[in-house]
Amino acid sequence: MSEKILVTGAAGFIGFHLCKALCGKGYDVIGVDNINDYYSIQLKLDRLDELRKSGNFVFQTTSICDKDSLDDLFQLHSFDYVVNLAAQAGVRFSIDKPYKYIDSNLIGFINVLEACRQFPVKHLIFASSSSVYGANVEIPFSTYHSTDHPVSLYGATKKANEVMAHSYASLYHLPVTGLRFFTVYGPWGRPDMAYFKFLNAIMKGETIKVFGQGKMKRDFTYIDDIVEGICLLLTKIPAGSAIHKNTNYTPNESAAPYQLYNIGNNKPVELLYFIELLERLSGKTVKKDFLPMQPGEVIETYADISDLEKAIGFKPHTNIEDGLGKFVKWYKQYYHIS
């Protein structure tokens, strides 16, 4: 029998690509999503249509905030692995709609943890974010750095996910791995992300808002590299570190079966170059409105991925030029632009 994997947020950007890869590896994949209207519902439905072409993918419209439905799903399927990608995303949106983040990222996540406890799984992997680093100024960001100063509610909820997961790993010996994603991009991406908005504006001849005067840097990570890392980690089940007698654990150590990793490209790109590259790939130029940084944003993200490289040999393969080229090609095909 094939092993069963639950992927929450299956209609989302990363969830879609992960489900597709797992199906290709022969797993039985059950995907759930609440199909909310944070961005285009049609894009989410089109992703699901692509996934249904695989015979080993099953989808159910379910919110992780619905504890009873989630528990029923766990009881019915006896999952081997769970990858929790369902969350309310977006730094700026968290300023306007804070309660959506509490519902999905906190209440929804505790429901996932409780389900994994009551119906034990071999391994839970969950999505954290580079946003947990907040006001940290040490570059590159390391999982050994403090994350005690978030600068957005979104980042705070992801930090909360990490400590909630650790408590369950410690109390119930639930094997858990958290992944701090760094600005994931690529085909079938999220329309609320800057790179998607920039290309929309370029294609429509509109002016784009360039925050931080274009000097901000982001560790843009191509979706295929992210998915490869998750697939390799599935069976890399944490066992916990040796118990310290006379010293404290570092932020990335635990006696519990718990592990945190950064997953990024390890090569920050300046925003202005990123925009210029989109212009070159699309064959169009765009007017730019240079503005100060917005609340909740940081000047640079840069992932130290050495721990992940040691654990699974992770090494990103896609540079920004090739990755954006693939995104632009998909964009034109999806929106029927010649």
**Residues taking part in catalysis:** 154
Name the phi and psi angles at 329, rounded to 5: -60, -45
Contact 14, 127 (CB under 8 A): yes
Beta bridge partners of 141: 303
151/135 Cα distance (integer angstroms): 6
**Based on C-alpha coordinates, what's the Rg of the chain?**
19
CA distance 37 to 41: 6
CA angle 182, 183, 186 (to 5 degrees): 125
Instruction: Classify residue 199 by burial, with Cβ atoms within 10 Å: 0-12, 13-18, 19+.
Output: buried
Nearest residue to 260 via CA among 135, 172, 146, 152 = 146
Which residues does 203 contact at the CB level (< 8 Å), separation at least 6? 282, 284, 331, 335, 337
Which tokens go with 235? 């069976």
DSSP per position, 168-187: HHHHH---EEEEEE--EE-T
109 neighbors 67 (Cβ within 8 angstroms): no
Q: Are 101 and 157 in contact (CB under 8 A)?
A: yes
Alpha-carbon distance of 8 to 83, in angstroms, equals 6
| In the block, residue with structure tokens 């490289």 | 309
In the block, which residue shows the tokens 């010649």? 338
| Cα(7)–Cα(4) distance, integer angstroms | 10
